[in-house]
Homo-oligomer: A and B are copies of this chain.
Amino acid sequence: MRIGELAERTGVSVRALRYYEEQGLLASQRSESGQRRYEENAIGRVRLIQQLYAAGISSASILEMLPCVVTGVAAPQVMTKLIGHRSSVVKQIEELQETLLQLDRVIAGATEAYATGKPCPPQ
């Protein structure tokens, strides 16, 4: 498929896809005229990249880990990084869960406060 279709099917912008290629994260075949062509599996690859980005992992780190994530095989140094990222992700999850509690506390409290008629201060 061409880049526009991949963009649409993954929900990622065309610009972002070209950026991924620039970073070495996403390969493409080229047509004679130089247009990018992708296989079906590119969709999974793009989703994976986005997932790793969402975990706060940089392009450079993703570049290191990607082949291993795909093949399931990692060199020891990469393993170390993987484990590091793993614990970082665990930590992020824990922190977000705490944040969630905070938000819930506010939402519950605010609802109740409104039931009792106490307004929110302007600032």
> Which residues in A have some Cβ–Cβ distance to B below 8 Å?
48, 51-52, 54-55, 65, 67-69, 71-76, 78-79, 82-83, 85-86, 89-90, 92-93, 95-100, 102-107, 109-111, 113-114, 118-121, 123
Q: Which residues of B contact A75 (CB under 8 A)?
A: 119-120
Q: Which residues of B contact A97 (CB under 8 A)?
A: 93
Q: Are A120 and B78 in contact (CB under 8 A)?
A: yes
Q: A51-B99, A79-B107, A102-B48 are known contacts. Are A120 and B89 too (CB-CB below 8 A)?
A: no
Q: Are A119 and B54 in contact (CB under 8 A)?
A: no
A-B contact pairs, 8 of them (CB 8 A): A51-B99, A65-B106, A71-B120, A73-B110, A73-B114, A74-B107, A74-B113, A78-B110
With both beta carbons as reference points, the residue of chain B lying nearest to A123 in the complex is identified as B67
**Max count, chain B CB within 10 A of own CB: residue among A83, A119, A120:** A120
Known: A65-B106, A82-B103. 15 other contacts (CB 8 A): A51-B98, A51-B99, A54-B95, A67-B120, A72-B105, A73-B118, A73-B119, A79-B114, A82-B110, A86-B100, A86-B103, A89-B100, A90-B100, A93-B97, A96-B96
| Other-chain contact of A93, B72, B100, B107, B110 (Cβ < 8 Å) | B100
